[in-house]
Structure 1
Amino acid sequence: MTATAERPPTTTDSARPTWVEQHHLDTWTRWVFRDPNGTQTSSAVAPYDGQVTAEVPASTAADVDAAVATARHAQRAWAQVPYGARAEVVLRFHDLLVERQDEVLDLIQWEMGKNRFSAWQEILQVANISRHYARHGASYLGVNKVRGAIPGLTKVKEVRIPKGVVGMISPWNYPLYLAVGDVIPALLSGNGVVSKADSQTPLTLLWARALMAEAGLPTDLWQVAVGPGRVVGEALIDHVDHICFTGSTATGRTVGARAGERLIAASLELGGKNPLIVRADADVAKAAAGCIAAAFANTGQMCIHIERVLVHDAVYDAFRDALVAGVGALSLGQTYDYTADVGPLASQAQLETVVAHVEQAREAGATVLTGGRHRPDLGPLVYEPTVLEGVTPDMTVCGEETFGPVISLYRVGSDHEAITRANEGSYGLSASIWSADTTTAEKMASKIRSGSVNVNDGAAAAAGSIEAGMGGMGDSGLGRRHGAEGIRKYTESQTIATQRLMPLGPPQQLAVETFVKISNKQLKLLRSLRVR
């Protein structure tokens, strides 16, 4: 039986954090770019109590056009600011974020519903990203000197030029990390930014925008628009110079197609149906604990979370028993402290998807080993962490992304079978292998079609290694965040070649045919000398 935690502290029977007053909301919502005469608003429902969080000004397509123009004007001056000065702004933001984190932790939980530790992990990621790019981004973007057409006579260097204005479309499941974590390298590389705040979680992003202003970011450089994707998102793609999108594969295809029509780059992190492999030699207890962390963190609402667990027959029974016991011990509830292991789902739509997947599997013959129940007694959107067995390909939960606290167990008889089944489907975002033999596990990893593979960790090791790229293969997306590519993607590579002493090609006094013969001899000489 899953343990329960207390309901959150309330004021007037509301889950709204007690310290949030109207003047706080006014301070944050002033950062929404909207015509002063605009009247449209957007609102969302808090997962803890089903009540509206706050009315937020909503932007129109014309507002987005104006926001991009405003950011573009500010970007021209920002691009001339030395990297070190830009980095100081980000480092001040880092310090303010760490110091005032309790404020945004409350907002994340209020808007999205996740447990507090999962919310804190967003602080950890954004802080690490801020420090890393502030300290190392200049080297990622540094001038690259290369040999020219004629060494000694041709001087060549590659430089990085900001793209201009970057559009950000971020989702609700990580409203700080996935929004701000991508904005930081875009700003540091000299761009302006226009963000589309997700309609479920706009306050978290607006809080971060206000904090960045406090850190010293120029007022017009980073704009925030609020509104539905069909209005704000489409307008954003139509005006920016690069689009960064995180969300569903279906929407990602539309974003990529629209960006392609304008010949602008799109970085897309999309869906996943991520596998975890337990080899015959794995430490069963550690593998079960790692699976639980990777499957049920953030209530299973993360693109890299585990949904398919492929267990070698030799350890299947022991692993299943350890997993079920561990899942049953999780604390389920709604609190503004660290006592709950798993919080509610973020919306009624997410709850309905989870219920539909589990019930369809149950009716088709799958066994619910633990969980499988909606718990309105704990909160309107609370659903128990669920482990399924006997899932077959005809069941929706087998191949479609659930994006909730549900995993399915599958027996496998060999490493080959595990790899084959891990590669089933069109996704390729994250994977996990548990084994005492890490050398063999790493060799297996190279055979798995996935942007990241974690050995003896569920998902966090790769995602938290911010010096390495993170992204997907296949239907899981294009491009990478983190690492060198995570900042270079917001720039254009420009080659500057300076020719000295003499031009390329035959001198005026030399016949073309003679020049060709001499050049051919040079080609053979360079080949024998192993040059280039």
Structure 2
Amino acid sequence: MATAPTAPRTSRGPGLPVTVTPSFLQHLTSRVSAAPNAARVTTTAPYTGAPLADLPVSTPEDVEAAFARARTAQKAWAATPIAERKKVLLRYHDLVLARQDQALDLMQAENGKTRRDAFLEVVDIGIVSRYYARNAAKYLGPKRRRGAIPLLTHTTELRHPKGVVTVISPWNYPLSMAASDTIAALMAGNAVVQKPDTQTALTALWSMDLMYEAGLPEGVWQMVIGRGSSIGGALMDNADYMMFTGSTATGRQIAADAGRRLIGASLELGGKNPMIVLEDADIEKAADGAVAACFPSAGQLCVSVERLYVAESIRDAFVAAFVTRTEKLKIGAAYDYSVDVGSLTTPAQLKTVTEHVDDAVAKGATVLAGGKARPDLGPLFYEPTILTDVTPDMTLHSHETFGPVVSVYTCRDVDDAVTQANATAYGLNASVWSHNGARGRAVAARVHAGTVNVNEAFAAAWGSIDAPMGGMGDSGLGRRHGADGILKYTEPQTVAHQRVQGFYPPSGISPETWASLFTGALKVMKAAGFR
């Protein structure tokens, strides 16, 4: 189905861009799998607090119906040659880039982030769709494996789609998290029933709409809207695989439920990500890197940095440079590239950020920059905040804040920095800064995190789509990106064809003689270097 054309960069209504028209919103919300007489829920625009969209709410019965349609559609989609699926993804790639103004407007309108941060999501989806379109055949095609008996056992590994995958995506990166996992699942031959967070469902619906315009058969990607407490059970009970991005607490419950059903699950959960600045780091570049690590999307980023460990010898110089840069950041609401830091997304998130900072200050933390909400700019704005003198009794010391707040600590040496960075139950992302790249990589290898960036905040590892991305410890299990990111949506099957002679003795040879011959053959294979 066609998507509305891109409109000029002007505003309409209460601070909404002209592309976000009532007819466009009605078109997107009509794609929700819900009954015609469904209850409705209204979302609000973070920049202003004004009503944004009126969305139908799916019931458990609607979820059941969506899975039924998806299962029917999936059979034909799985039978579609990979080369044809590839064409759909490459057309989708082109549409996302061509219609990016629509996506940027929607992300800003319902999430509150800056246009620069929203654009990185467009870049991400362009890279992911191209990568899996052009590499899926390599990952999914039949592969010859070494047989049990050389020359006599012909063994092949096949990959079959799981069936219908449930994708539960969060509000903080509404395009990246809604589309990137779905892209891999679709390319593997699955259908998808997705529940995006209601607050940012419009962006997810836009993405799905473009995929259909690119040629995806109707029914292969279904979208449901509702609270997890209402439809989460139906999503789990019908899924052949679960892909979840969100809180650690919810992830634990999904893992338990998936275990009960004996289905797979991939979970990207919380983080309390560290950045280490070694004594040989370029202070100016590291300060720039800290800004890029801590404040994108107002800190509402799973891989952003909330703990900063700086070598004692350069601490004062680094902190001064970091504070100066932070205080120069422009905060505000604009549907263009003129601001550096946008709004928080929900009142709940503003409450968490405020409580964490106020608790820390009340217990002795020092505010070096920021430290307060900015209602003069909009209902959910909070200044980029740098704290020091943070102690373990403060909530934000160990708990994820998920806002534009970072705590600065001093480290004596490399061992102390690594020890402090690893003193957390989480292990999602980390950053290491050193003038010596080899030294930085060596330190990175000691950090307990699924991705570690050297002389970069998070984009280097995240954007390296050929490599796996995910968390250790309480930050989750499973990986997206790379081979792992698509193979997890498949069932491996081994087909072994035994020719001429098997493992049992042929007629005329006693078991004892056969055992002796086989033993000799095993010794010869070891001596000859067989694997």
Q: Does the CA-based 8 Å contact 1:43-1:199 persist in structure 2?
A: no
Cα distance in 1, alignment partners of residues 208 and 481 from structure 2: 21
Question: How many angstroms does 1:506 deviate by?
Answer: 1.5
Question: How many angstroms does 1:42 deviate by?
Answer: 2.2
Q: Mapping of 1:289-438 within 5 angstroms?
A: 289-438=288-437
Deviations 1:177-211 (A, max 9, x none): 01101111111111111110211111111111111
Deviations 1:112-163 (A, max 9, x none): 1001100010000001101111111111222221121111111001011111
1:32 maps to: 32
1:509 maps to: 508
1:372 is matched by which residue type in structure 2?
G
2:253 maps to: 254
Question: How many angstroms does 1:66 deviate by?
Answer: 1.3
Structure 1 residue runs without a partner (length 5+): 1-7
1:239 maps to: 238
1:370 is matched by which residue type in structure 2?
A
Q: Does the CA-based 8 Å contact 2:63-2:231 persist in structure 1?
A: yes
Question: How many angstroms does 1:9 deviate by?
Answer: 6.5
1:51 is matched by which residue type in structure 2?
A
Moved more, 381-390 or 146-155: 146-155
Cα distance in 2, alignment partners of residues 436 and 328 from structure 1: 26
Moved more, 50-59 or 367-376: 50-59
Moved more, 504-513 or 416-425: 504-513
Deviations 1:248-302 (A, max 9, x none): 1111001111111001000000000000000000000000100101100110000
| Residue 11 in structure 1 maps to residue 5 in structure 2 | no
Cα distance in 1, alignment partners of residues 439 and 12 from structure 2: 55
Question: How many angstroms does 1:529 deviate by?
Answer: 2.2
Deviations 1:60-119 (A, max 9, x none): 111111111111111111111111111111111111111111011111101010011000
1:3 maps to: none
Question: How many angstroms does 1:51 deviate by?
Answer: 1.8
2:5 maps to: none
TM-score (norm 1): 0.97
Cα distance in 2, alignment partners of residues 385 and 488 from structure 1: 39
Cα distance in 2, alignment partners of residues 84 and 530 from structure 1: 39
2:252 is matched by which residue type in structure 1?
R
2:15 is matched by which residue type in structure 1?
A
2:264 maps to: 265
Cα distance in 2, alignment partners of residues 252 and 450 from structure 1: 18
Moved more, 208-217 or 519-528: 519-528
| Residue 20 in structure 1 maps to residue 20 in structure 2 | yes
2:148 maps to: 149
Sequence identity percentage: 51
Question: How many angstroms does 1:234 deviate by?
Answer: 2.5
Question: How many angstroms does 1:527 deviate by?
Answer: 2.3
Q: Does the CA-based 8 Å contact 1:182-1:481 persist in structure 2?
A: yes
Deviations 1:13-50 (A, max 9, x none): x13323322221221112111133x3212222210111
Cα distance in 1, alignment partners of residues 371 and 503 from structure 2: 73
2:220 maps to: 221
1:197 maps to: 196
| Residue 60 in structure 1 maps to residue 59 in structure 2 | yes
1:124 is matched by which residue type in structure 2?
V
Q: Does the CA-based 8 Å contact 1:9-1:335 persist in structure 2?
A: no
Cα distance in 2, alignment partners of residues 84 and 526 from structure 1: 40
Question: How many angstroms does 1:227 deviate by?
Answer: 0.5
SS at 1:428 equivalent: coil
1:476 maps to: 475
Q: Does the CA-based 8 Å contact 2:369-2:384 persist in structure 1?
A: yes
Cα distance in 2, alignment partners of residues 17 and 10 from structure 1: 4
Cα distance in 2, alignment partners of residues 334 and 76 from structure 1: 46
Q: Mapping of 1:450-469 within 5 angstroms?
A: 450-469=449-468
Cα distance in 1, alignment partners of residues 488 and 501 from structure 2: 36
1:139 maps to: 138
Question: How many angstroms does 1:10 deviate by?
Answer: 4.9
Q: Mapping of 1:79-158 within 5 angstroms?
A: 79-158=78-157
Q: Does the CA-based 8 Å contact 2:303-2:458 persist in structure 1?
A: yes
2:4 maps to: none
Q: Does the CA-based 8 Å contact 1:169-1:233 persist in structure 2?
A: no
Question: How many angstroms does 1:500 deviate by?
Answer: 1.3
Q: Does the CA-based 8 Å contact 1:432-1:455 persist in structure 2?
A: yes
Q: Does the CA-based 8 Å contact 2:20-2:105 persist in structure 1?
A: no
Q: Does the CA-based 8 Å contact 1:9-1:15 persist in structure 2?
A: no
Number of residue equivalences: 523
Q: Does the CA-based 8 Å contact 1:242-1:264 persist in structure 2?
A: yes
Cα distance in 2, alignment partners of residues 434 and 19 from structure 1: 41
Question: How many angstroms does 1:457 deviate by?
Answer: 0.4
1:101 is matched by which residue type in structure 2?
Q
TM-score (norm 2): 0.97
Cα distance in 2, alignment partners of residues 290 and 392 from structure 1: 24
SS at 1:194 equivalent: strand
2:20 is matched by which residue type in structure 1?
V
Structure 2 residue runs without a partner (length 5+): 1-8
Question: How many angstroms does 1:450 deviate by?
Answer: 0.4
Question: How many angstroms does 1:446 deviate by?
Answer: 1.2
Moved more, 207-216 or 19-28: 19-28
